[in-house]
Structures are given as C-alpha cells and as structure tokens.
Structure 1
C-alpha cells in the first residue's frame, strides 16, 4: 500500500517508481545529446541510442536480480542467527561450542528454502535496501570490492567535474552576451575564450570567476552532511520538465514555420566517440536502483515497468535530439543545449531566454553537494578498517579536500562539456553500467544455486538469464573501452 512506512522509507506505487526512474535517468546528459547527435549523424546516432538503451535495460535487470538474491541471503542469515541463538539458549555452556559447530555445518548443507515456513514471504522479495557497495561486499572478493569503489569514485569525480564546468559556463554565456549589449548568442557567432566579455575581462576570465564563486558557495557543503529534501527534489524536477517542454515546443514551432536551419549528415563516424560516452552517461541509473526500486510497493510486474520506462526515455531523447538537429545547424549547437535558446530570433521573451539559459545553474547547483558528499563517503568506505575510526583532521579535512579539489581543477582547465560527459560515460560509465552489473549477476546466480539448489529460481530473475548475455555485456564493454581509447589516441595523433 502506497504511503506505508518501512525501514526503507515511505512506499510508493509502481507507477510513481516509474516516474522517479524517468527523472533519475533524464538529467544533465540529455542537454549535451543534441550536439553529439549533430556531430555523429542522425542515423548513426539513432541506431547507437537504441542499442545503448537496450544494453542499459539488460544490465538494469541484472542489478534487480542481484538485489533480490542479496535480500534472500540477508533473510537466510537472519533466520540462521535466530536459530543459533535459540539453540544456544537451550544448550549447556559445556556443549555450546559443539552445538554451534554442528548448526553451522547443517546450515552450510541445508538449502535456504528449508528454513522457510509455510506462508512466510518469498525469500527473493526485495524488502531491504541493499546498495551496490553492499552487494559487491557480499558477492565479490576483496580485490573486486576495491575495483568497484575505484570505478564509482572515478565516475563521481567525472560527475562533479561536469557540474563544476556546466554552471560557470552557462553563467558566462548568458552574462557575457548581456554585457556586450546583445540579446543572446547569435547563430553565426563563434566565440573564443579570449574574446572580450566585460571591458578588459575575457570570456575565460569570467568563466573562472564564476567557477571560483561556485566553489566558494557550494564547496563548503562537502565538509558537512547534506541531504536532498523532498521539496527541493520536486522543485528541480518541475523546473527540468518546464525547460525540456519549452525547448521541444519552440524547436517544433520553428521547424513548422520553415525556419529550421539544420541539415544533419546521415553518418559521421568521427563523432561516435563522444556520442557513445554521452549516451552511456544519459542512461546511467544502475548505481541508484536500490534506493529507487526497494520502496516500490508492488514489484509483481517490475521488469515490464522498467521496460516501459526505457521505451519512454528513448522516445524523449529521440524527440529532443531530432528537433534540435533539424532546428539548428550542427556548428551552431552549443555544448549545453539550453544556451541555443538565448537568441532573440528563437525566443523573444527575455524572461524565457534567461530561464532556459540559467536552467542548468539552478538544477545542477542543487545536485552538486549531494554528489560531493556521496563521493566523500565512498572514499571513507574504501579505506575503512573494521572497528577503526579516522582522526578528526583526516575525517573532516583530508577526505572533503580530495573530493572537492580534483573536479574543480579539471573545470578550471576546460569547459568542454561534450568531452567531459563523453569521457566520463565512456570509461567510468562503462564500468558502472556494464561491467559491475554483469559480474554481480554472475556471482549472485552462482551463490544462489549453491544455497537453493537447481530447482528454485529467483522470482526477479532477469529475462536475459542465459550466461551468454553476461559474456555479451562484458565483451561489449571491453570493445567500447578499446574503441574509445583508440579513437582518442588517433585524435591526439592528428593534432
């Protein structure tokens, strides 16, 4: 029942969960997708978008299956601990060691289902929120756990670098145009970082000033604990959908009036590297699935709802990108798509121009402290030793500092958002979206079979249950890594 309170928080219906997943996936990556589409060509972009959406759906079902297996393990361990405590209470002190050893041996040999009483919940019911780090600790060895945290940390660093660059870049584009007595970024204007912004200040100077202000205002949150409130989430989601809807409608109106300037190529393989990274980044949700799926009250048709979500997301990405590439010329599309609507000939209302131009500033700024604290906590978990505590300086100064400084330095050196998104998605994103889910589902299936036997299956088992799919996902991830690396090397060689 929606609204019921459990250990995982307030439950909500499966359709509310569908909306939450949609909001989680459709984020900053969508704003960089139009330029990536225009660069790679519309046919190549469409094919790659559909294929990467399908691959993301496959690994999403892998994570859900691993969550169910982890819940079964936790449920079994709780029941075994309870049984051992009852046996300890009924035994004498002299026989306790023998009984514990016998109980342990029986538990190792007995299938989990043997401890389930008639009428008890299905062992694979997803009721406990088991985060990916905990699943990694349950199914991986020590090396695997460290590699998992390394991948998560690299991805979060990339996320923070994108956010740290996007906000100052948007502010620079909007305010420099206003400072030059222009009503926006003109279609035929190609700005360089050395161009003037206000008086003697160059555009790059304005960008770095905004970056410094952004760091001073939001950086301190890294040193404290901060949580996203429900109302802040509602506000940012509302602003996001207003902005997306306005951009799509304005682009359709321009195309309908014959003012479309775009003539995108069919295919241009030189742009595939960035497109790949942008698409992987734009489908990223696997690391947040436990927090999203666990509170869903009815998980009976979970896989179907997730599939419907992916279909809707694909349709939305296609609509946003195709209206963009046929409305604007490829060389005039900005890294941050909202900035294309800072032109007077596109949007006449000043308030709408400033809302769209500054839209990333509001939404990204609310997410930056959350991701920074998440990254800081992952650093702590990676170096944590059982029973140990960190000195105050390490806990309150060192970890927040190594969290905040690297992404700010990257943003100081470059504001090329398309490349930042592409590299983050192509490397760390590949690990989180493909490699980790594939290994999680492989090991959880092996452990489940040992504990349950061959006759029992996970009720949330992925429809891609054959081992072929695990191998295919890993092979695809490896191929992507090689392709992107080779493409970067060739690009650097040409330069």
Structure 2
C-alpha cells in the first residue's frame, strides 16, 4: 500500500537486497585493506578478517532481531491507542464488553505494558478479522529511533555521540581520499618512466609546487564544490546509485584481474610476511570499517518484499564479501612490493605501466575514488548535520535560523576538513575510525539494542513469543561476548597507540 512504500521505500526482491547489502559493505574501506594486509602479514590478516567478519555477521543478526522487536513495540503501541480511542467513543459499553478481559486502563501504562490484567493471547485478531504478526518488519525503524525506544536518556546520548564521531571519521576519510587521488593523477608520472616508484610529499608536482601543496589545493577545491551541500538537503538518486555501483565493480574487477595476470606471469614482487603483530591494531580498525553496515540495515532490510530467508541471504552476503576481500588483498600483496603499496590501492595502477599500459584505464582507476566518494560526501554530511540537531533537540523547541542553517552545517563541515588538511594518511584515518567509533556502532550498540529489546518485548508478548527474525545467537552469553570483545579491542588498540608514541 502507499503508506508502506512511504515508510520503507520501493519494495525489492531478496536477491536485490543481497546485492544492495554487498554494495553497501564493499566501499572505500576495501581500498585500504591491501596495505593493512601487507603490514600485518597474510596469515594473521586472514585469521583476523575471518573472525571479524563472523563478529560483524553476528551483530547484523542482532540488529535484524532488534528491528523486528521495535516493529512489535510500535504495533502494540498503536493497538493500545486504538483501544483507548474506542473506549472514549463507546461510553455506552463497558470495557469488559469491549475487550472481554476486564479493565486494564491502557492509557496509564507505558508503551510496552503487560498485555492484559488477566492474560492475553500472543497474536490478537486485527479489526479486519485476520491475524497480525507482531515481529513482521514492515516499518523502517532507524538505529537512533531504536536507541530512544530501548535505551535510557544517557544511552541515547552516548549512541548519538558514537554515531557522530563515526560520521566525522567517514567525512575525514572522504575529504582526504578525493584530493589524494586527484594529486596522484595530476602529479604522477604518466609517461611510465618511473616504473611504479612511490613519491614523497615533498617531491615536486608543478615546478616549485610540492605534492603536499597540490594535495591541499585539491582539498580546497573539493571543499568549495562539495561543502555547500552541507547547508542544504541532498538526496541520493536511484540512477546515481546504479552508476557508482557499476563503476565500483568495474574498478575492483579490473584490479583483481590485472594483479592475477601479473602474478601468473611470474612478475609479482610481493613477499609479505606471515605475521607482524605491529600491524594488527591498524588492520583491526580497517576490517571493522570495511564490514560496517549495521547503521544502514533498517533502510536496507525493510523494503525486502519476502523476508522469510533474510537470515540465509545475510549469511551468504558475508561469505561472499569475505571471499572478495581476501581475493582483492591477497592478489595485491603478492603482486606489489609491500613498500610500494599505497593507502589507496587504486593508485598502484595509476603510474605503473608494468601493470597497466592503457592510459585511459590508468586514468579511470586513478579517478575512480573521486567520482564514487564525491557522490557520498554530501549524503554523509547531511546525515551528520541531522544527528547533531537530534542530539540537542528539545521537545517542542525550534532552533534560530542562524543556528539551524549556519552553525550546524559549519560544525559538520569544518572538523573533517581540518583533519584532512593536517593528514592524508588514509590507513590511519580508516584504522582509527573503525577501531573506536566503528567498534561502538558495529559491536556495542547492536548487542545492547538486542539485549534491551528482548527485555522490553518479553513482558508484553510472553516467554513463548517467537521472533521469526531472531538471531541464531540467541543466548545472552553471545551478547556479553560481543561487548567484552569490543572492550578488549578498544583497550588493545589504545595501548598499542600509546606504546607506539612512547617509542617515537
């Protein structure tokens, strides 16, 4: 019906949902993974990415279960409100006559109150005479809304702080990736006489202009072109999604095939170590960032027309993504010498004719991140701006025009641009974003959401209620395992950063 389409978006098949999830997860993080693999060693990298893929799959099932519980809560809230309205409009009948279960005074109860004073059935008849599936994911409930439903005020504020920090990291990564790609294309040696030599920031680009200065010029141009979108509302169109997805797949497939061809010819230069623990903390952050999809699951899963096999589809997606990441990274680390791998993997094909001797294709790969990332930057910026507004929102209050249209956009845009101006080390930016804010969004928030969702729903629907979208990791032990794992990872990454700074 029209209302459903308004809330959930245009419905699509489970297979299309699988493709959308694949495209959502496989993004910018994948381009930084080869360098992280080479630094940490191929055995350690394969083991860690497999485990982190499993952990991300687990929390994805937590999110889907929490979405179903949130739908059940909203559905029951509306049912109670309908009963209140019926009681008010049929005063010549008693409550006992209408409900057949005694007076429960639903208007005095919270959203998820006990079903009835003397017991009630799990599935109640709809007014049309049919049955309602309380756990049907029919309405899109975003992560922030779920947090407000299941967390207390402190928990809600902590969630918004976490998502804001993550989005800031996202914007900083995007703001650095585009100028880096433009700098490499503009300053690279496209005559191929360099043979894949890696340049330094102080090397010249245009006469006396150094490469780092060219990077900052491109950053300023990028800010002037993309920054104004932060002050308005930007919407991603269907055709833009199709175009960027097509470019992404052409680029990734091309890089894998080119690396395989070179390795097959015996020209591979990579001799990666089996293990190097010093690279593990950064690899952890890159992998967490590269498996991130939990914050977008409500918009992704809700429009799927047939959700009976959504759990199988999610598992298949994660298996495919894990295989894809392993293929991309392994072909990279055995094709290129570790010291020559760029933070942005596409740049290894830009000025190396030994790998790719077609100028048009070299420019395509060099500029690929520019087109795909530039289309995402305004969307992420507007999302961050709106989260800031929600964090400081007061019920019934409005912001002055200057605060709403100037202050919030500026505090959204300025910090990531400043970070990108100070550093363009994409591996570190992705690692830090994934290790800290990414850990909260991917592990802690989904685990706590499903824990408190179960506690909210059980008093209403009873212990015998079966959530058809329930996670296969049903036991509470799994929830606390995720939380403890996240806490351990945060302490490990922090300790490693402190030790590294102390050595320097």
Specify the alignment match of 2:8 in structure 1. Answer: 8
Deviation at 1:171, TM superposition (A): 0.9
Specify the alignment match of 1:494 in structure 2. Answer: 503
- The 1:85/1:112 distance shift into structure 2, 3 A limit, reads farther
Deviation at 1:122, TM superposition (A): 0.7
Q: Residue 465 of structure 1 aligns to a residue in which SS?
A: coil
Specify the alignment match of 1:55 in structure 2. Answer: 55
**Match of residue 300, structure 2, among 292, 306, 312:** 292
In the alignment, structure 1 residue 478 sits paired with structure 2 residue 487: yes
Deviation at 1:104, TM superposition (A): 3.5
- The 1:76/1:489 distance shift into structure 2, 3 A limit, reads same
Specify the alignment match of 2:377 in structure 1. Answer: 368
**Match of residue 144, structure 1, among 148, 155, 178:** 155
Q: Residue 20 of structure 1 aligns to a residue in which SS?
A: helix
| Higher mean displacement: 109-118 or 371-380 | 109-118
Deviation at 1:5, TM superposition (A): 4.2
Unaligned runs of at least 5 residues, structure 2: 96-101
2:73 & 2:266 partners in 1: Cα distance? 61
Are the equivalent residues in 2 in contact too, given 1:84–1:100 (CA < 8 A)?
no
| Higher mean displacement: 466-475 or 191-200 | 191-200
Q: Residue 347 of structure 1 aligns to a residue in which SS?
A: coil
TM-score (norm 1): 0.95
Specify the alignment match of 2:244 in structure 1. Answer: 236
In the alignment, structure 1 residue 85 sits paired with structure 2 residue 85: yes
TM-score (norm 2): 0.94
Deviation at 1:108, TM superposition (A): 3.5
2:195 & 2:391 partners in 1: Cα distance? 48
Matches within 5 A, 1:36-435: 36-91=36-91, 102-104=105-107, 108-110=114-116, 113=122, 115-117=124-126, 119-178=130-189, 182-183=191-192, 186-187=195-196, 189-342=197-350, 343-435=352-444
Specify the alignment match of 2:98 in structure 1. Answer: none
Are the equivalent residues in 2 in contact too, given 1:185–1:340 (CA < 8 A)?
no
Q: Residue 205 of structure 2 aligns to a residue in which SS?
A: strand
In the alignment, structure 1 residue 451 sits paired with structure 2 residue 460: yes
Are the equivalent residues in 2 in contact too, given 1:177–1:183 (CA < 8 A)?
no
Deviation at 1:109, TM superposition (A): 4.7
- The 1:291/1:317 distance shift into structure 2, 3 A limit, reads same
Are the equivalent residues in 1 in contact too, given 2:114–2:459 (CA < 8 A)?
no
Deviation at 1:458, TM superposition (A): 1.1
1:73 & 1:139 partners in 2: Cα distance? 10
1:433 & 1:291 partners in 2: Cα distance? 16
Q: Residue 361 of structure 1 aligns to a residue in which SS?
A: helix
2:125 & 2:22 partners in 1: Cα distance? 36
2:497 & 2:123 partners in 1: Cα distance? 55
| Higher mean displacement: 386-395 or 117-126 | 117-126
Q: Residue 197 of structure 1 aligns to a residue in which SS?
A: strand
2:286 & 2:193 partners in 1: Cα distance? 26
Are the equivalent residues in 2 in contact too, given 1:76–1:112 (CA < 8 A)?
no
Are the equivalent residues in 1 in contact too, given 2:248–2:372 (CA < 8 A)?
yes
Q: Note the alpha carbon deviations across 1:199-221, whole angstroms, 9 max, x for none.
A: 01011110000000000000000
Deviation at 1:194, TM superposition (A): 1.4
Unaligned runs of at least 5 residues, structure 1: none
Specify the alignment match of 1:23 in structure 2. Answer: 23
Deviation at 1:318, TM superposition (A): 0.5
Q: Note the alpha carbon deviations across 1:379-431, whole angstroms, 9 max, x for none.
A: 00000111111100000000000000000000000000000000000000000
Q: Residue 463 of structure 1 aligns to a residue in which SS?
A: coil
Deviation at 1:317, TM superposition (A): 0.3
Equivalent pairs, count: 486
2:6 & 2:175 partners in 1: Cα distance? 36
